[in-house]
């Protein structure tokens, strides 16, 4: 008999503080990079970039941040309001419990705990808020899985220190991690360090707090290509910060576990041409790199050539090698949304594409309303490849479908497209488990509609719970169960048998 979902499998949903909490200047919270993410609507995408290309949405330069500070009225900055979870968490968690959630992935907003990122003492009001959220989850037997940093570096650290370009930020992160690990010992068993740590390649400001002076206005398709020196230095420092946090967790709470978080990019060659396959290998390396370091505690052999040929010199602290080795993560987590097609770039020397989305279409796959390919079999392939590489337990941090939802004549949302996406992916997850891959949980991205990370839209909805709020913050904020709510509830109740 093939293996299937193990008993105690962690079914649930996944969110991030900056996309749900709102209350950006309440409760003593300091500003974070996410407060400077502007709304990108389809209109902007059509004029400033093609539909499928990842148009940068965040402040790309010091100048832009300054302008957003001086003239906030000229900018639409939806992450500041989120979906008001800061005030609605009790009702929202009740709905998650109704669906039968076993796990809730969320993040702590660093600047709620340390408003400047590096203050001498933590903000008690911020700490109390998360105490209340964790208590509420435990009331229903839901395990919190907590990301320490999900695209919201404290602005002060970004502006004064260039974020993770500086070791000062590493020290501040270690102190922040230690503070919350001590405080929530016994309440939080599963932690992650940095969300989609490979996002440094396409969004260095959001994920790592790196601001470039006079960087191009976010209007061209790929303005972040290059800046390799800064990006790889910042991510090296994040690796060290991640390892230090992992070591602290093991010291303080030996029962707790730390995971990484990688935006997994599964790549296919455009043709059987060996050159296209070579490009797949390059891109694979630029994706595996991040998890190789976090899971094995060592830099993989293949990066040296890229560093040498591009004159990249990573400044290492004298104990870094040891810290990385001692701070390897306990389990692997990924986000999985789609697969990508690679075409040879004409250079036998490794070069990453430098952004998350490839613009070559796969003719065999359907696409979402946002042009993301839908590839459930790719999910099984990717899970096998990860397990083959690391042999560590895997948790699915994110998987989901962003779509435009419509009400029917009865005022309900029949989101069969979302149900189909979920069914197909959970089916392939079950296949991967039958293949022998050790997966212990699955968190649907955005179980409740939230602010999109990439575009700051509300229109791009992932939820099984509808939130009455538009791109501009208008609406009653009321929550409503979609058809997928009942589907997921049934699926969880049967531990994945009732697909
Ligand atoms: P949105 C790009 C490609 C794949 C996943 O994304 C990505 C991104 C960055 O935007 O990010 C993750 O909201 C991220 C979440 C995010 C989710 O995917 O742009 O960890 O914060 O909301 C979905 O549709």
So where are the chain's domains? 10-493
Q: For ligand 1, what atom is nearest to the CA of residue 462?
A: 24
- Whole-number Å distance, alpha carbon 290 to ligand 1 midpoint, is 17
- Whole-number Å distance, alpha carbon 418 to ligand 1 midpoint, is 17
CA 473 to CA 441: how far, in whole Å?
A: 33
Q: Check residue 470 and give its pLDDT.
A: 96
Annotated catalytic residues are 196, 398
By most ligand atoms within 8 Å of CB, the mutation choice from 38, 149, 196 for ligand 1 is 196
Residue owning the nearest CA to atom 24 of ligand 1: 452
User: For 475-478, which contacts have Cβ atoms below 8 Å and span 24 or more sequence positions?
Assistant: 477/83, 477/84, 477/88
Residue owning the nearest CA to atom 10 of ligand 1: 454
Residue owning the nearest CA to atom 22 of ligand 1: 453
Q: For ligand 1, what atom is nearest to the CA of residue 54?
A: 2
Give the pLDDT confidence of 420-471 residue by residue, as tens digits. Answer: 999 999 999 999 999 999 999 999 999 999 999 988 999 999 999 999 999 9
Give the pLDDT confidence of 116-165 residue by residue, as tens digits. Answer: 999 999 999 999 999 999 999 999 999 999 999 999 999 999 999 999 99
Q: For ligand 1, what atom is nearest to the CA of residue 151?
A: 21
Q: Check residue 51 and give its pLDDT.
A: 44
Q: For ligand 1, what atom is nearest to the CA of residue 446?
A: 22
pLDDT over 70 percentage in the chain: 92
Q: Check residue 224 and give its pLDDT.
A: 53
The closest of 81, 138, 102, 197 to 444, measured between CA atoms, is 102
Does ligand 1 have an atom closer than 6 angstroms to the CB of 283? no
Does ligand 1 have an atom closer than 6 angstroms to the CB of 18? no
Residue owning the nearest CA to atom 8 of ligand 1: 454
Residue owning the nearest CA to atom 19 of ligand 1: 454
Could you tell me the CATH superfamily of domain 10-493? Glycosidases (3.20.20.80)
Does ligand 1 have an atom closer than 6 angstroms to the CB of 208? no
By most ligand atoms within 8 Å of CB, the mutation choice from 39, 55, 453 for ligand 1 is 453
Q: Check residue 360 and give its pLDDT.
A: 83
- Whole-number Å distance, alpha carbon 461 to ligand 1 midpoint, is 12
pLDDT at 48 over 90: no
- Whole-number Å distance, alpha carbon 402 to ligand 1 midpoint, is 10
ipTM of the prediction: 0.97
Q: Check residue 174 and give its pLDDT.
A: 98
């Amino acid at each position: 008999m093939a293996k299937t979902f193990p008993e105690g499998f962690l079914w649930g949903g996944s969110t991030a503080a900056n996309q749900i909490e709102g209350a950006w200047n309440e409760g003593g919270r300091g500003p974070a990079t996410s407060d400077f993410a502007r709304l990108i609507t389809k209109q902007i995408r059509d004029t400033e970039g093609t539909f499928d290309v990842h148009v940068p949405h965040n402040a790309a330069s010091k100048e832009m941040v300054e302008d957003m500070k001086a003239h906030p009225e000229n900018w639409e900055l939806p992450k500041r309001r989120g979906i008001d979870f800061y005030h609605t968490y009790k009702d929202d968690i009740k709905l998650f419990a109704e669906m039968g959630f076993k796990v809730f992935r969320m993040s702590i907003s660093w600047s709620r705990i340390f408003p400047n990122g590096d203050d001498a003492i933590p903000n008690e009001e911020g700490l109390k808020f998360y105490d209340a959220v964790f208590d509420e989850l435990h009331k229903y037997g839901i395990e919190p899985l907590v990301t320490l940093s999900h695209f919201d570096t404290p602005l002060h650290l970004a502006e004064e220190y260039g974020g993770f370009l500086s070791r000062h930020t590493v020290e501040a992160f270690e102190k922040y991690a230690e503070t919350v690990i001590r405080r929530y010992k016994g309440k939080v068993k599963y932690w992650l360090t940095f969300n989609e740590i490979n996002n440094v390649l396409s969004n260095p400001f959001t994920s790592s707090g790196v601001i470039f002076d006079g960087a191009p206005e976010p209007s061209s398709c790929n303005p972040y290509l290059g800046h390799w020196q800064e990006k790889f230095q910042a991510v090296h420092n994040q690796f060290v910060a991640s390892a230090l946090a992992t070591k602290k967790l093991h010291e303080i709470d030996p029962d707790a576990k730390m995971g990484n978080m990688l935006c997994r990019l599964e790549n296919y060659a455009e043709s059987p041409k060996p050159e296209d396959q070579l490009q797949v290998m390059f891109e694979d390396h630029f994706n595996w790199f991040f998890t190789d370091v976090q899971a094995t505690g060592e830099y993989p052999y293949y990066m040296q050539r890229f560093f040498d040929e591009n004159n990249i010199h990573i400044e290492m602290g004298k104990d870094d090698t040891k810290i990385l080795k001692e701070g390897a993560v306990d389990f692997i987590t990924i986000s999985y949304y789609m697969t990508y097609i690679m075409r040879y770039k004409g250079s036998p020397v490794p070069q990453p594409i430098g952004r998350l989305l490839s613009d070559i279409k796969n003719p065999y796959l359907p696409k979402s309303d946002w042009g993301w390919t839908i590839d459930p079999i790719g999910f099984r392939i990717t899970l096998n490849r990860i397990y083959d590489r690391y042999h560590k337990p895997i948790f699915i941090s994110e998987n989901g479908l962003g779509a435009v939802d419509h009400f029917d004549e009865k005022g309900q949302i029949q989101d069969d497209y979302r149900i189909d996406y979920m069914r197909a992916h959970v089916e392939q997850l079950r296949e991967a488990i039958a293949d022998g891959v050790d997966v212990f949980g699955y968190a649907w991205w955005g179980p409740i509609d939230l602010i999109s990370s990439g575009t700051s839209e509300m229109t791009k909805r992932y939820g099984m719970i509808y939130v009455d709020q538009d791109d501009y913050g208008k609406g009653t904020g009321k929550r409503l169960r979609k058809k997928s709510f009942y589907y997921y509830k049934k699926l969880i109740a049967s531990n994945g048998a009732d697909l």
